[in-house]
Amino acid sequence: MNRRFSVIFAVSVLVTAAACSIVAVMAGPAQAPPADTPSTQEPRASAPTLPAAVDDVLYARAFSTDTPFTHWWRKERPQVNHGYLFVLKVNPLLVTPRQTAEPVLYVGAQTAERLNTGNDQGHIVVIVPGDVDLATAKFWFG
């Protein structure tokens, strides 16, 4: 039985190697597109340097809830029952969705929970739990 397995395995390896060789020959050498050919992919926008300030606060409204909810944007996951809803004007590059770490919005020392991406027009809607002193709070990405 072991001899049979060895023969089948050897044939399988040879077939795989032959298939890879055929594909490599058919594909030909890798070539870069000519310099005058436009790229089909848009260049990736990199995030601006952090920390970065929010451009403007367009709307602010205090709210409260009868039932506490979890603020998921903090490691501690606090239960909160009041806070602020904000609409902010921001640099769209700061809120462009990424497959990697992205800038976090803070209001003072509190993290803000983004409700939309906002990268199309640079307006984001966020919830900030707890009390916020609107006269002194700084809105920034870190």
Q: Where are the beta strands (DSSP E) in the chain?
A: 52-53, 56-70, 79-89, 105-107, 110-111, 113-114, 123-129, 139-141
Query: Taking Cα atoms as reference points, which of 125, 127, 131, 64 lies closest to residue 95?
Result: 125
According to the model, what pLDDT value does residue 43 have? Answer: 57
Distance CA 110, CA 106 (A): 5
pLDDT band of residue 56 (cuts 50, 70, 90) is very high
CB 106 within 8 A of CB 73: no
Domain range summary for the chain, segments of one domain joined by +: 52-141
What does the block give as tokens for 63?
């709210």
Per-residue pLDDT of 4-50, as tens digits, reads 444 444 444 444 444 444 444 444 555 555 555 555 555 556 668 99
